[in-house]
Chain A
Amino acid sequence: MAQPRIILDNVCVARVGRADRPLPVLNHVSLAFGKREIVALVGHNGAGKTTLARTILGLYPLTEGCITYEGTPIRELSPGKIQMVFQPPSAQLIGQTIFEELALTALQRNSAITRAQLDVFVQHYADMVQLTVPIETSVYELSGGQLQRLCIAQALASGAKVLLFDESFAPLDDEARTALRKQLRTLAERHALTIVLITHDMEDVLIADRVVILDAGEVRLATDPQTFFYGEHGQTPRCATWGFRPPYIVDAALAANHRFGLSMRPLSEEELVEELLHVYALSH
């Protein structure tokens, strides 16, 4: 990997006014996020995942350490490079219709855009997240999942190079989740994006390049998904020791390894099916 895009060096964050109780703060967090990289940020409730994302966005003052974007401290960064999808989705919408929300983003990128181009732009991003209602629909008529899609569309449309998603896929149905995961992978490659997914869904970890476990404000592990799910040198995988429910294909691969005496470590259904076909082609 070339020079990482975002570097967190020994970052500490303390929350003011709550000295009496240890709330999620960040303790000496050092991480690097590269271009074309999808990082899954996992951890139990209250581990400080959202705090970390907001810190990267520059919303919390650091008590120690520094965060840089391609060498520039984020405080001095020209705006619009980093975007985040917050919780709850409705709080971050500025426009009152799907059109307005996305048109605004388009206008921020290029204020000379014409009305006709705006319509095309808005429809393109609405289609990308499978937001199938008319674009004039008021945001107050959208369901939770649809609002979430609109926020994701806005982040994608913003042209930012770093996108942070805070459990953005949780309220979506399987179809939308699967489609968006594929979409993110494609976008990350095509536009050299850095994507951070805060998630509890281990299926999201499958598409990531790296997984970071955060616990009580500290980075406990940063590894690739294969090591996370399948372990190394016969050790119990970290996924299991940390109490995460492994995805179905990992369970299936482990069961198949056991039955056929293999050592498969697939991260996608394609890989697993491919390897199983191989097993049967050899044995029959």
Chain B
Amino acid sequence: MSMLLAIDNLTVGTAPQRRLHGLTACVDKGEFIVVLGHNGAGKSTLLDVLAGVTVPTEGTLTWQRDDSKTAQANNALINRVGYLFQSPETGLFAGTVAEEFALTWSITPRQVHARAAEVQSLLRRVGLDAIELDDIPATWSTGMQRRMAIALVLAEDPQIVLLDEPSAGLDGWSQQQLLQTLQHMRDEGRTVIVATHDTDAFISLATRAWILADGALVYDGALSDLYAQPERLVTHRLGLPPSLRLQVRLVRVGLLDAPAVRDANTLVESLGPHHKPIDEATGATNPTTEIPDNSITKTNEHAGTVLSSHASVSLGYSQKPHGRLKIDSRSRWITVSLVTVAIALVHTPLGIVLGLCGTVALLIAFGASWRRVAKWSIVWGLFALFTTAIGATRVGPPFHPTAHDAFSFVTAGHALVSILPYWCFLQSSQLLVTGTTALEVQAMLEWILRFLHLPAQFRHLASLTGGIVYRFLPAVSQLYQVQLRAYRVRTLATRKRRFASLRLTHVLAPLVIRLIRYGETTHDALMARNLFTHPIPSAQLLPEKLRLRDWMVALIGFAFATAVVGIQWFV
């Protein structure tokens, strides 16, 4: 077999939040690799990198070129990666069945109608019968949409197929259909890489297995070797697939010699009284799931090695959504608001500069993300450049009767100073909307309104509305990312990625549809949890009393704001 792909020291993300690190492996042409790993181990990230959706932070992917072919043919081969990502129904955004195929094949829907027979045969391969080309997949059940997504991957005629949890949400019959299709692909010499939890289903197809644990590749060898050493699966918190669970029990009571890849009939044939805890022939220890095996042993196949365990590497999830200085959200909001109001009231250069210093101090104290600060600074910078340039350029009559073709640096300076407060506003607004959760916002609104002795009904309504609006901000951005990713994956082959983020019909319109559906589910969940009629008793989510530190921060904020405004009057 010829090598297809070399993966060298692949790392995604930076410490401590690395989603993949130091992954080195190779993939031969025609292999069928099953990627295993517990939830959050980095399986989807790996497939994203292989598909070219995610760019690795470090390391390289080298696709082997076939010297007998032209460079163009080689590139075409690499581009023929079919990727069925997780929840592939999000990738159905084109509209009708014909439009979906049109997008995949980069032709017009009318041309798809001319190839109707081919489309029907693809749909039949995934068990979608009696489907018209004008049907709209968005109206189908999730399971049917997933099958449609598989049909679209098949339509690309991919040489390399990447599948992320392909059997999830499919009924038994569709799963069988999928397995048959994959078997055909393997037999045709195509390369298949599947991330799955359903190990038993792929056992007859797999030529190799990878185990990912906390972003590292900890096993690279035959799947059958894993079945002979089930303790490995236990060590990596994968649990045992049903066939192994039964075999381990049978071994333990002495009815089976050792676990292996066996279908039900083979298992029953192998049954018999066995009392030897160790099988001398293979040297395999008698598996007991209670004893995890950490030893590093050689497996026979594929330069197959069991890589050292990186199970102790933490993903660094402990990052709390609060700043450097752990300050109560109420105090934080009050301080930021006071400083912002003070900046809005001043208009002397000294006041403005003081306000600027105050904002910078707040950004540092509350540990604002420097990326976000930079992002907003760029937005502000462009705006500032534009307005100062317009304000300070003298083009002569009729606009400037007194001056001729000149640039007034004094005016530019004045304009820039007067725009500085907007930088402060942008940065304080990000301090207000990050580092606080929706429920905290809700609790805070409730607290402030109670402080103002407003009626209970008004308080509940205002705080619930505030909380829900706040909660939807990140949800919208997350769904947008999902939709954008879906678009990028679907157009991988055609590389229609320019201005992808602004594509109205393929990203923004489906986003709106998804948001409505998402909102419906949220509404249903809120109904079921009775959160509309009985307001969330959110007060307990905030610490009952403000600490001295919280009062101090608010007080400093108040003093600073008063000073800034005071200087305005007295200087």
Contacts and interface: CB of A to CB of B under 8 A. Distances in A.
Contacts of B144: 45-46
Interface string A101-118: 001110110010111001
Contacts of B175: 200, 245
A4 interface: no
14 contacts: A44-B143, A45-B170, A84-B528, A96-B321, A103-B541, A104-B536, A115-B543, A118-B540, A143-B39, A200-B171, A243-B171, A244-B173, A273-B255, A276-B250
Contacts of A255: 264-265, 267-268
A115 B142 CA distance: 40
B439 A113 contact: no
A91 B541 contact: no
Interface string A241-252: 001110111011
B437 A171 contact: no
Given A46-B143, A255-B265, A256-B271, A269 B173 contact: no
B239 A243 contact: no
A247 B168 contact: no
Contacts of A37: none
Contact of B239 (A146, A177, A284): A177
A72 interface: no
B334 to A, nearest CB: 21
B533 interface: yes
Interface stretch (B60-68, B241-249, B280-288): B241-249
Interface string B229-247: 0000110011111110110
A92 B521 contact: yes
B295 interface: no
Interface of A: 18, 21, 23-24, 43-46, 50, 54, 57-59, 79-80, 82-84, 86-88, 90-92, 94-97, 100, 103-105, 107-108, 111, 113-115, 118, 133-134, 136-138, 140-146, 149, 158, 167, 170-179, 200, 202-203, 243-245, 247-249, 251-252, 254-256, 258-259, 269-270, 272-273, 276-277, 280, 284
A143 B315 CA distance: 12
Interface of B: 38-40, 44, 86-87, 139-144, 146-147, 165, 168-176, 197, 199-200, 233-234, 237-243, 245-246, 249-250, 253, 255, 263-265, 267-269, 271-273, 317-318, 320-321, 437-439, 471, 474-475, 478, 518, 521-522, 524-531, 533-534, 536-538, 540-541, 543-544
Nearest to A258: B268
A218 B323 CA distance: 55
Nearest to B17: A141
Given A54-B524, A252-B264, 14 more contacts: A21-B139, A45-B141, A45-B147, A57-B528, A94-B525, A96-B438, A104-B541, A108-B531, A111-B537, A178-B239, A178-B245, A202-B172, A244-B173, A277-B253
A269 B249 contact: yes
Contacts of B241: 174
A170 B534 contact: no
Contacts of A95: 437-439
Contacts of B537: 107-108, 111
Contacts of A50: 141
Given A143-B39, A245-B176, A251 B528 contact: no
Enumerate the 10 nearest inter-chain pairs by beta-carbon distance, A residue then B residue, closest first.
A175-B239, A45-B143, A145-B39, A251-B264, A174-B239, A92-B525, A79-B530, A143-B40, A96-B437, A91-B521
A58 B524 CA distance: 10
Nearest to A174: B239
A43 B171 contact: yes
Contacts of B86: 144
B173 A243 contact: yes
A265 to B, nearest CB: 15
From A86, A95, A243, name the one whose CB has the most chain B CB atoms within 10 angstroms: A95
A226 to B, nearest CB: 17
Given A171-B165, A175-B38, A252-B264, A140 B474 contact: yes
A87 B142 contact: yes
A243 B560 CA distance: 73
From B44, B140, B239, name the one whose CB has the most chain A CB atoms within 10 angstroms: B239
